[in-house]
Amino acid sequence: MPGIRIGDFELSRVQELDFPMAYAQTFFPEMSDEMLAEVRRKIPPGHLTDDGKVIFSFHSYVVRTGRYNILVDTCCGNDKQRPGRDDFSGLNTGYLDTLAAEGLKPEDIDYVMCTHLHWDHVGWNTRLVDGAWVPTFPNAQVVMAKREYDFWNEAYASGTASIHRNGFEDSVMPIVRAEKALLVADDFELDTGIWLEPCHGHSAGHVVVNLASGDDRAVVTGDVIHHLSQLVFPTLSTMADTDTELARANRTALIEKHAGTGNLVCTGHFKAPSVGRIEADGAGFRWDGVY
């Protein structure tokens, strides 16, 4: 599918998975029956199942600048073991074939930019070759916010078992050992018109990626916003947020910042169209999907 223009940049989506992942009132612990009913009334069909599960997409974004090919977040990855999550363990997806359909080989990627280091956003950083995890994108530097890296590196060193620790071990540490990691400040500018912005809460060092070219603006939000439910009710934090109050404050601020501006918002888990614009709608907001 053709991408979308952001000035001189071109952005396209690389899809890995798309399925009902969790019950809305489980994933959003503060969602009441009344809130769920309101969400059903306001969001388009196809984002919530009849029995109340949120439908999530897992995808990356490719940004072509004319100078660099940049991949933002790398989904779940093949052959990874995710204890307690059978639906994500031992995957064998066609992610790299989808990337190839975009005209890109792994060798063509110049930078991987990570909004955060949760296992479902770093999985394709590495792939299994002869029993070892090696960088999937051999010519790419992997940009990680140092605050985020330090948090998970400390958790990894502690030895406490978690799915995030497993993801750090098989999808982040091999990048560091291969000297492909670029640890940066939360406001790091990769190139003219491409820079990070801190948006903590979902994880300790979560960042968004801003894109600006000509008169066009876009933001890749990672997991600041997970689902259309959070536009209807921006106060809804998730069971996956490290700091629910901080996530709530920063999510609301990000939504309000971009609502009504015409800026493209490139979400991390919205079912297609995952790129769109946010508009005010009563006490909440609505989604105008474009790609």
276 contacts 259 by C-beta, under 8 angstroms? no
Beginning with the edge strand found earlier in the chain, give each strand of the sheet holding 111-113 in spatial order. Answer: 4-6, 9-23, 53-64, 69-72, 111-113, 141-145, 181-184
Question: What mean pLDDT comes out for the span 3-31?
Answer: 98
- pLDDT value, residue 1: 61
Question: Hey, is 122 helix, strand or coil?
Answer: helix
Report, in angstroms and rounded to the nearest whole number, the Rg of the chain calculated over CA atoms: 18
Q: What percent of the chain clears pLDDT 70, i.e. is strictly above it?
A: 100
- pLDDT value, residue 274: 98
- pLDDT value, residue 143: 99
How far is the C-alpha of 24 from the C-alpha of 166, rounded, in Å? 26
- DSSP letter (8 states) at residue 202: S
> 124-164, pLDDT tens digit by residue?
999 999 999 999 999 999 999 999 999 999 999 999 999 99
Going by pLDDT thresholds of 50, 70 and 90, the confidence category of residue 38 is very high
Going by pLDDT thresholds of 50, 70 and 90, the confidence category of residue 75 is very high
Question: What mean pLDDT comes out for the span 21-35?
Answer: 98
Cα dist from 95 to 13, 16, 99, 152, 269, whole Å? 11, 5, 6, 26, 16
- Residue 256 pLDDT greater than 80, yes or no: yes
74 contacts 91 by C-beta, under 8 angstroms? no
Residue 284 CA, chain-centre distance (Å), reads 23
Looking at every residue in the chain, the average pLDDT score rounds to: 98
- pLDDT value, residue 2: 82
Taking each helix axis as running N to C, give the angle between helix 146-158 and helix 163-171, from 0 to 180 degrees, rounded to the nearest 10: 110
Q: Which of 1-10, 124-133, 136-145, 233-242 has the lowest average pLDDT?
A: 1-10
Question: What mean pLDDT comes out for the span 167-180?
Answer: 98
Which helix (H) or strand (E) element contains residue 284? Answer: strand 284-289
- DSSP calls for 7-67: TTEEEEEEEEEEEEEEEHHHHSTT--HHHHHHHHHHSPTTSB-TTSEEEEEEEEEEEE-SS
- Residue 86 pLDDT greater than 90, yes or no: yes
- pLDDT value, residue 158: 95
Structural domain 4-280, CATH architecture: 4-Layer Sandwich (3.60)
Question: What mean pLDDT comes out for the span 247-251?
Answer: 98
